[in-house]
Structure 1
Amino acid sequence: MIGHDIFLPAPLPVLSAGTMVMLLAIAWRRSVIRSLVIAVVTLLAALVSVTHAFGTPPADGTGLFVQDRWAIYTAVLILLSVLCIVFMSWRDLVRDAAHPTDEYPLLMMLGTLGATSMVFSASYMPFFLGVEILGISLMGLIASRHYRFAQATEAAMKYLILSGVSSAILLFGMGLAYGVSGSLAFVPPVAAAGFAPSMAQVATVMILAGMFFKLSAVPFHMWLPDVMEGAPPPIAAFTAVTAKIAIFASLVRYFGAGPLPPFMQGVIYAVIILTIMGGNLLALCQNSLTRLMACSSIAHMGYLLIAFFSPGRLQGGAMTVYLVAYTVSTLGVFTIICACAPAMRQDGNRITAWKGLFATNPLPATAMSVMLLSLAGIPPTIGFFAKFEIAGTGVELQRDVLLLVLVIGSIIGLYYYLNIIRVMMNGGAAPSLPIARQPQPELTALTIVLTIIVIMGGLFPGPALYPLLPATVKTMPARNLTGTPPEAPIMKTAIAPPAL
């Protein structure tokens, strides 16, 4: 029985119990449908329990987990994104009887458990365990593409090696941080009294480098396009969305919402510029839609880092809205890609294979156009409002160079997003991309729901987004360099709550 001195957010035991039930069910008798149903039930139960917890948090703040609005918000976003990815995977898993893949939903549940553990972490121990659980499950999921086995295995090996190196750097930094501060609390050690500041700075930079690799920020980005191209489309979405939400939430948790340490200002500044420009310029060179989405994901992490680097009244609202916009739009693109999975097996997901899609399949073509316009930040989509919020954080703190880079990057992104729409509109009535002819109601319904969210979030951002964002009024309190929270939070939303 859990005592009152132990605090545990309810989604973690719920996901753990669901994973154990699935493991026992697989050991008893293999059934992909049953495993998928258990996964859906587990995710829904975790969503219902996301605001609950076992025990009470220690008054001195020395617990392993924390449960505030930022943690709840990002956990909800992770659970909803995984639920969408399960529905993306449903058709291929159920109808491919020749290759039973019960381990697929099991690994996905393990990855979800790791990602959720990361966002609730208040200590290095659960955070690192979450990182490794997520990374190990991703390796198995990336290699599960049996119809392109060589490419999937190569992608999994690349992720294994590079992820292992980044985890080693991250763990080394945590060890140094513990040596400097004598605490496993999830806060930077840069202001620990009585120790050499250089050692604290080295520890902080190493932890930041490990997080930047997981976030695929430049110059730690080269693994993402290869991994996403080799992985199945739903797992590419899992890598680009769920894993990114978890690590970005942890990054914000670690450094708090206040000003960053002075010695890190220039480093973060350079990383943001390189990430935005590098991701967009790399996307210009891609012929594969999945690789293009990987490079696009790199650029969007750069946009998010602008809000992370700009503490102020608009910071919390900008980060929460942009995470929703990026999540919904990216999941929408990969949902449509999953509907075209048979063609992808033949042509490697070339952009030119989408030629003429508007002529014979207007629904997926229209939905894809809406998602791409949202990623480009074009009204009336949610992406426009989200990018406007990010720009607002830069204007508030006069980040002129970063705003200029944001504009230039958005213009470059507009070119390659609109190019895909142009390809879909060309070609007359003879498209080269044969959409799957089997009934796929789950993908159709998911596409419609995500498209409605993208449009309604852009047309009515306040009423549409406020009920979806439990963290927008205020997220976490800002930290000063010693990790002590001030009396009042500084992160507030720019979205006004709807009138009652």
Structure 2
Amino acid sequence: MTALLPGLPPSLPILGGGIALLLLCIAWRRSEARAILIALATLLLAFASLWWPLLPWPGDPTGMLFVPDGWFTYIAALILLSSAATMIMAWRETGTSSDEFYLLLLLGTLGALVMAGSADMVIFFLGLETLSLSLLGLIAWHRTHPTADEAAIKYLILAGLSSAILLFGLALSYAESGSLRFAAPSLDGQEGPALPLAATALVLTGLFFKLSAVPFHTWLPDVMEGAPTPVASFIAVTSKIALFAALARYFAGADLLRPDAAGTELAIVAVLSMFGGNLLALGQSNLKRLLAGSSIAHVGYLLLALLSPGPFGLASAAVYLAAYAAATSGAFAALGGASVPADIAGWRGMFRRRPALALAMAIMLISLAGIPPAIGFFAKTYIVIAGVSARRIVLLVALVASSIIGLYYYLNVVRAMMEPLPEEHRAARGTPANAGLIAILAIVTVLAGLFPETLVRQTHSLLQPTPIMRQASLRPAAPHDILYRE
């Protein structure tokens, strides 16, 4: 397969083989235990394959469908680990116990990986739709849940609309450039800037819908509230990592420091997402909706890193994605393991009822808030450094101001967990696997914040995607040469 498709990462056929095997096992005899074992083994094997040597790339590399560079390897590792965490959350959770549930999760993971590594418009769109269709089934999984059908219908309509807008933008980009390469069209074309500007605007609109960036965010809180908790985690973490990776690759060859329409649109959406997401979460009493608002705000922070090319731009985004994935996955795991209502009131007195779970949830929330010693503090500081190096003063002011707003609702949940209860309440306990997942994510969040050198070293060893389109050999990039060209 790799010989037929030059540059095809081995993780993709491994995931495809795991999906086929799971389908055969479901057709033969149903077993949830066997289904999750096959799914987790497939994810672990795909994770190990990220460091397997690739076959040489024959022919002209500009015709490649996939770019298995360092950026893809890093993003794919985050996607596979986040998907594995989602499966562990779903194990024996009420309403998600079924073979097909893990099959859809594998399909969604495959679509996310295709998006992260695609160098071709058609391949990118196929990956996007694979992810979207699997999410549709996962969101509506709770057939008896009163809001599941509403969430699924909202996602179906808006996902279809955003896909149509995105596809129209890709078609205009092809009409302008004559190439299917997944990259922002040049504004210096012979026909003038109107066509490439329209193409870029439509592609960005479609991607912003999928990323739930403001003002295209209104669907996310309703969908995450109606979806099962593991699916909400999958939407907030895995799908957003893949979408941001694709957005960064789309602008890999563009100079985002130049004042043009695309950079202005990205900057406006970044500011709106920072404030809009935090203000949305500020008034929420439901933890799922609160984390949805938090997720929107973090999209804005990541857009600041994207708009700060230079010594720290992509590296800061990569560190932030890892910090966000660990903290958000841990928060949803704690939410699912608590077996209490998702309202903040249900978490009152949790430090008395289940102190270990409450401590883990507090660690995740202070990491999302950017409070030391959790990794979220270092990740946000890293983005600030990137913004300062690129002189993004307005965006930096927005980041600081919106982060102050975010402190209130994150610490409000911690305060509720510390409140004494008038009488003792018993809290049901989750599965041992979920408890182990929460403990691991909490430890990683703290240790990565205390010792971030290893993570920073990994992000600075990423390779530059743009030259790979033009030359057949991979080359290490200096820290200031990651993804962007000066």
TM bracket, shorter-chain basis: over 0.9
The answer on 1:474 being equivalent to 2:462 is: yes
Change (3 A) 1:404 1:127: same
2:313 to 312, 315, 324: 315
What residue is the counterpart of 1:157 in the other structure?
153
1:300 Cα shift?
0.5
Aligned amino acid, residue 462 of structure 2: K
Contact 2:461–2:476 at 8 Å: present in 1 too? no
RMSD: 2.2
What residue is the counterpart of 1:382 in the other structure?
375
1:185 to 181, 187, 191: 181
Whole-angstrom CA distance in 1 between matches of 2:273 and 2:463: 25
Contact 2:315–2:456 at 8 Å: present in 1 too? no
1:142 to 139, 146, 149: 139
The answer on 1:109 being equivalent to 2:101 is: no
Change (3 A) 1:22 1:477: closer
Whole-angstrom CA distance in 2 between matches of 1:44 and 1:412: 39
1:2 Cα shift?
5.2
What residue is the counterpart of 2:359 in the other structure?
366
Aligned amino acid, residue 437 of structure 2: L
Change (3 A) 1:457 1:493: farther
Contact 1:144–1:232 at 8 Å: present in 2 too? yes
Whole-angstrom CA distance in 1 between matches of 2:168 and 2:480: 34
1:6 Cα shift?
3.3
Whole-angstrom CA distance in 1 between matches of 2:352 and 2:107: 41
Aligned runs of 1:37-436 on 2, under 5 Å? 37-52=37-52, 53=54, 56=57, 58-92=59-93, 101-148=98-145, 150-191=146-187, 193-256=189-252, 259-260=255-256, 262-341=260-339, 343-344=340-341, 349-428=342-421, 430=423, 434-436=426-428
1:359 Cα shift?
1.0
Whole-angstrom CA distance in 2 between matches of 1:179 and 1:431: 67
Whole-angstrom CA distance in 2 between matches of 1:73 and 1:257: 19
TM-score by length of 1: 0.90
- Point out where structure 2 has 5 or more consecutive residues left out of the alignment: none
Higher mean alpha-carbon deviation, 204-213 vs 159-168, is at: 204-213
The answer on 1:13 being equivalent to 2:5 is: no
1:243 Cα shift?
0.1
Whole-angstrom CA distance in 2 between matches of 1:380 and 1:245: 24
**Percent of matched pairs sharing the same residue:** 47
Whole-angstrom CA distance in 2 between matches of 1:314 and 1:388: 11
1:394 Cα shift?
1.0
1:32 Cα shift?
1.1
Matched residue SS, 1:9: coil
1:478 Cα shift?
5.8
Whole-angstrom CA distance in 1 between matches of 2:134 and 2:362: 32
Whole-angstrom CA distance in 2 between matches of 1:38 and 1:140: 20
Aligned amino acid, residue 134 of structure 2: S
Aligned amino acid, residue 140 of structure 2: A
Matched residue SS, 1:8: coil
Whole-angstrom CA distance in 2 between matches of 1:493 and 1:334: 35
Aligned amino acid, residue 156 of structure 2: L
Aligned amino acid, residue 67 of structure 1: P
Aligned amino acid, residue 376 of structure 1: A
The answer on 1:460 being equivalent to 2:447 is: no
Matched residue SS, 1:201: helix
1:54-99 CA distances to partner (integer Å, 9 max, x unpaired)?
5626433211111100000000000000011111111226xx7xx8
Matched residue SS, 2:93: helix
Matched residue SS, 2:285: coil
How many residues are matched?
475
Aligned amino acid, residue 476 of structure 1: Q
Contact 2:315–2:460 at 8 Å: present in 1 too? yes
Change (3 A) 1:287 1:35: same
Whole-angstrom CA distance in 2 between matches of 1:384 and 1:312: 21
Change (3 A) 1:275 1:58: farther
Contact 1:143–1:152 at 8 Å: present in 2 too? yes
What residue is the counterpart of 1:497 in the other structure?
none
Contact 1:316–1:475 at 8 Å: present in 2 too? no
Higher mean alpha-carbon deviation, 262-271 vs 211-220, is at: 262-271
Contact 1:234–1:334 at 8 Å: present in 2 too? yes
1:287-333 CA distances to partner (integer Å, 9 max, x unpaired)?
10000000000001100110000101011220111001000000110
Whole-angstrom CA distance in 1 between matches of 2:466 and 2:64: 19
Higher mean alpha-carbon deviation, 276-285 vs 55-64, is at: 55-64
Contact 1:139–1:156 at 8 Å: present in 2 too? yes
1:436 Cα shift?
2.0
Change (3 A) 1:477 1:12: closer
- Point out where structure 1 has 5 or more consecutive residues left out of the alignment: 495-500
Whole-angstrom CA distance in 1 between matches of 2:106 and 2:210: 19
Matched residue SS, 1:256: coil
1:49 Cα shift?
0.7
Whole-angstrom CA distance in 2 between matches of 1:41 and 1:301: 31
Contact 1:287–1:350 at 8 Å: present in 2 too? yes
Whole-angstrom CA distance in 2 between matches of 1:484 and 1:218: 35
Aligned amino acid, residue 82 of structure 1: S
1:192-241 CA distances to partner (integer Å, 9 max, x unpaired)?
64333201110111011111111111111111101000000000000000
Whole-angstrom CA distance in 1 between matches of 2:271 and 2:183: 25
Whole-angstrom CA distance in 1 between matches of 2:415 and 2:395: 30
Whole-angstrom CA distance in 2 between matches of 1:19 and 1:267: 39
Whole-angstrom CA distance in 1 between matches of 2:329 and 2:387: 27
1:392-423 CA distances to partner (integer Å, 9 max, x unpaired)?
01111221111111111111010100000000
Change (3 A) 1:211 1:72: same
Change (3 A) 1:196 1:186: same
Whole-angstrom CA distance in 1 between matches of 2:345 and 2:394: 36
The answer on 1:447 being equivalent to 2:443 is: no
Whole-angstrom CA distance in 1 between matches of 2:112 and 2:320: 19
Contact 2:338–2:427 at 8 Å: present in 1 too? yes
Whole-angstrom CA distance in 2 between matches of 1:58 and 1:23: 36
Contact 1:2–1:55 at 8 Å: present in 2 too? no
Aligned amino acid, residue 165 of structure 1: L
Whole-angstrom CA distance in 1 between matches of 2:87 and 2:403: 31
